[in-house]
Amino acid sequence: MSGASAGRAAVITGIGCHLPPDVVTNEDLTRRLDTSDEWIRSRTGIASRHMVAPGVATSDLAVEAGRRALESAGGGADAVVLATTTPDRPCPATAPDVADRLGLGTVAAFDVSAVCSGFLYGLATAAGFIASGTADRVLLIAADAFTTIIDPADRSTAVIFADGAGAVVLRAGDADEPGAVGRVVLGSDGGLNRLIQVPAGGSRQRSSGVAPAAGEEFFRMAGREVYRHAVERMTASSREAAEAAGWDGPAAADRFAAHQANARILATVADDLGIPLQRRLSNIEHVGNTGAASLAVLLAQSAAEGTLAAGHRLLLTAFGGGLAWGATALVWPDVKAG
């Protein structure tokens, strides 16, 4: 392994994604929930989403996305970072299993927990591993089987969340190359953690000796309140990331990719930033909100379709539980999506 050197940076060199084959349409949801296709489309922008079949875990999605990213990069990795909110089990981390199944041997492997901002927190972590010389090539996977923590009877979340995985491979390179990861603007506000959480199943509830109340093992979100914070934080962090990259403001972006939380949130943020419609990447209509995987899947699909191409100045932002958020700006490299 080579040591850290001035100017050494992490550069994106491969990308891939995987969505589970089962599709759930809005019509399917109306058969078991008091909702409508019209409500879901107009309030969220979602028409259908992918969901894991019984017995399928986050690692299964992660392995497939990771395999595609490694193929796209044409090489291996000496560290695996997995961003997820839905690990296969509470202990141990899921990443070592994923690394083993990808044939990567005994490499460093661990999970990052930052809910829907997981990909950006993972990107900063992976870039730090490379900048310090801890690793030369990092496989960053963002994967969530988010529907496994959703209350199937809660119409306010069951219509939004979905499953999927996306991955990038980062190699050691120079800070001025296309694909180089610069500063990732990150933030959190734990004072508002109650707005998005799974109340039971952690040490707080388990040490109490009191069994969880019905439904407390499921994900809960105060949607209306979260909406406001999502707009505020994604807008501010995007501005900061554009400035850190030396751009002439966020409107200098050729492409804007935001965590696919809700089409209305994305439109508000992009409008505030002055980014025209044709520069906004979106897949929420048929992918929904896949948690940590959201940004990675969006980038992989956009690169495969050609809506994201080499040389594009790309602005990325995410927001979610924690609360936690982030943004970064980079130039998209010449990579073939796997």
State the catalytic residues.
116, 259, 289
Give least dist CB 33 to ligand ACO, A.
Answer: 7
Counting residues that bind ligand ACO (by CB under 6 A) gives 26
Side-chain half-sphere exposure of 289, counting CA atoms within 13 A: 28
Which of 118, 164, 291, 333 touches ligand ACO by CB under 6 A? 291
Check binding of 224 to ligand ACO (CB under 6 A).
Answer: yes
Which residue matches tokens 């963002």?
A: 142
Question: Of 104-112, 216-224, 243-251, 301-309, which part binds ligand ACO (CB under 6 A)?
Answer: 216-224
Give me the sign of the Cα torsion angle 321, 326, 227, 287.
negative
C-beta atoms surrounding 76 within 10 Å: 15
At 106, list the tokens.
């005994």
Check binding of 155 to ligand ACO (CB under 6 A).
Answer: yes
Return the number of the residue (235 or 262) whose C-beta is nearest ligand ACO: 262
Give me the sign of the Cα torsion angle 213, 215, 218, 222.
negative
Per-residue buried b or exposed e for 261-283, using 16+ beta carbons within 10 Å of the residue's own CB: bbbebbbbbbebbebeeebbbbb
What does residue 261 show for φ and ψ, rounded to 5 degrees?
-85, -40
Which of 12, 159, 185, 331 touches ligand ACO by CB under 6 A? 159
d(CA 272, CA 276) in angstroms, rounded, equals 10
Return the number of the residue (39 or 110) whose C-beta is nearest ligand ACO: 39
Side-chain half-sphere exposure of 287, counting CA atoms within 13 A: 29
Give least dist CB 222 to ligand ACO, A.
Answer: 8
Query: In the stretch 119-148, what mask flags binding to ligand ACO with x, by CB under 6 A?
Result: ------------------------------
Question: Of 10-18, 88-96, 236-244, 258-266, which part binds ligand ACO (CB under 6 A)?
Answer: 258-266
What would the 3-class secondary structure string for 198-219 be?
CCCCCHHHHHHCCCCCCCCCCC
Provide the 8-state DSSP code for 171. Answer: E
Which of 262, 283, 302, 317 touches ligand ACO by CB under 6 A? 262
What does residue 95 show for φ and ψ, rounded to 5 degrees?
-55, -40
Check binding of 110 to ligand ACO (CB under 6 A).
Answer: no
Query: In the stretch 304-333, what mask flags binding to ligand ACO with x, by CB under 6 A?
Result: ---------------xxx------------
Instruction: Name which of residues 24 to 63 contact ligand ACO (CB under 6 A).
Output: 35, 39-40, 43-44
d(CA 179, CA 195) in angstroms, rounded, equals 35
Return the number of the residue (101 or 155) whose C-beta is nearest ligand ACO: 155
d(CA 129, CA 274) in angstroms, rounded, equals 34
Return the number of the residue (233 or 279) whose C-beta is nearest ligand ACO: 233
Which of 138, 253, 265, 296 touches ligand ACO by CB under 6 A? 265
Return the number of the residue (44 or 302) whose C-beta is nearest ligand ACO: 44
- Which spans of this chain sit near ligand ACO (rule: CB under 6 A)? 35, 39-40, 43-44, 115-116, 155-156, 159-160, 196, 221, 223-224, 226-227, 230, 261-262, 265, 289, 291, 319-321
